[in-house]
Amino acid sequence: MSDVAILRALRTPIAPRSRGLANLSADRLASHALAAAAAGAPRTPDAVVMGNCTGPGGNLGRLAALGAGFGETCVGWGVDAQCGSGMVAVAQAARHVRESGETAAAGGAESASTAPVRTLDGVPFSRAPFAPEGFPDPDMIEAADDLAARRGIGRARQEAFAVRSHELSLAHAAALEGETAPLRRPGDPASAPIPDDGPRSTSPALLRRFRPVRSAPDASVTPGTAARIADGAAALLLAPAAEAAGPHCVVRGDALTGSDPALPGLGPVRAARRALERAGWTWDDVAVIEIVEAFAAQALAALDELGLADPAGDAVDERVNARGGALALGHPWGASGAVVLVRLVHRLLDAPVGSRGVAMCAIGGGMGAAMLLERAA
């Protein structure tokens, strides 16, 4: 089986719901990210796979492929694996490239701003079930609160982790701009590019002012320690490694695993361990680590379990999210798994040849996804 290379990886800016990207649908965001990732490529992608959670339906992959100008022969399809959608889409695209020898583009997109109102028996609901009747199906904030209580992850530690995310994002603003495909306001090509609208100068003292989102006695998750609902898209261009020229990364493995639906935040633990085991890697072999920071409590619980954070303090392995994460940037659900892959690629391209990286995310309903990449040239 031939190696699969990631030739380019870019994302749109990320903005909170109802703000800078509010007028762009999921397929338009996806088309922009795809076109930017494929610009200058030797050939147009033969297939597109795009993840999404809350869009209006239809075939997002095909819509985005046509919208990106890839032509009528480019096939496309969509993936819904909740917050892991973008990462699972890239894994599917890698398999397609490996088996067919074709090129592919993949990623995820979410427009929470334009998501349609969904109803059941005429009653609107904010999210579809993560698990069927008879299984635990906690809301994500409830699940994060419960995980924090069970693992003893207090507010102060959550807030320190959130501050870390913002501080690192601000410190590496130039690197974040380098992973972003400029996007101007619709209908105004002369306007300044829309920036990321998330990272802020903050502090534990400031975050202590927030009240918990839930009123439960053990609630500890606040608006400051939960990633903001956001709009955005990310795309990666994949091809047989033999076609790669210049700096690129190679896909070395992936895993999609199931876990307890009551504790979905721990999903990345099993996925990362399985992917590493299949590849014959250990954490000592890994130079770069990215995890989706949906909630500080969720990310910390997974990092604790993996030995990448100190449960007794605020220390986090310096390899983890070294340029910040979703707590600062925002969490466009169906895109976030692809966004961390974009971050991983760009960090690896700034590292020596042979450097290895892991990206992982938790998925509602009790799943986890992980992907392994290596800097090849």
How far, in Å, are 85, 101, 203, 312, 364 from residue 340 at the CA level? 12, 26, 24, 27, 17
Which of 53, 74, 83, 361 is catalytic? The answer is 83
50-88 as b/e, with b when 16 or more CB fall inside 10 Å?
A: bbbbbbeeebbbbbbbbbbebeeebbbbbbbbbbbbbbb
The two tokens of residue 359 are 């990206």
Other C-beta atoms closer than 10 Å to the C-beta of 374 total: 22
Return the SS3 of 359.
Answer: strand
Asked if 331 is an active-site residue, the reply is yes
SS (H, E, C) 289-324: EEECCCEHHHHHHHHHHCCCECCCCCCECCCECECE
Asked if 83 is an active-site residue, the reply is yes
Entry field: residues in the chain: 377
Return the SS3 of 7.
Answer: strand
Say if CB 272 and CB 358 are below 8 A apart. Answer: yes
The two tokens of residue 73 are 């022969």
d(CA 261, CA 140): 11
Please name which of 298, 263, 314, 273 lies closest in space to residue 131, comparing C-alpha atoms.
Answer: 263
CA dihedral 53, 371, 276, 252 (to 10 degrees): 150
Other C-beta atoms closer than 10 Å to the C-beta of 151 total: 18
Which of 96, 166, 248, 331 is catalytic? The answer is 331
Which active-site residues does the annotation give? 83, 331
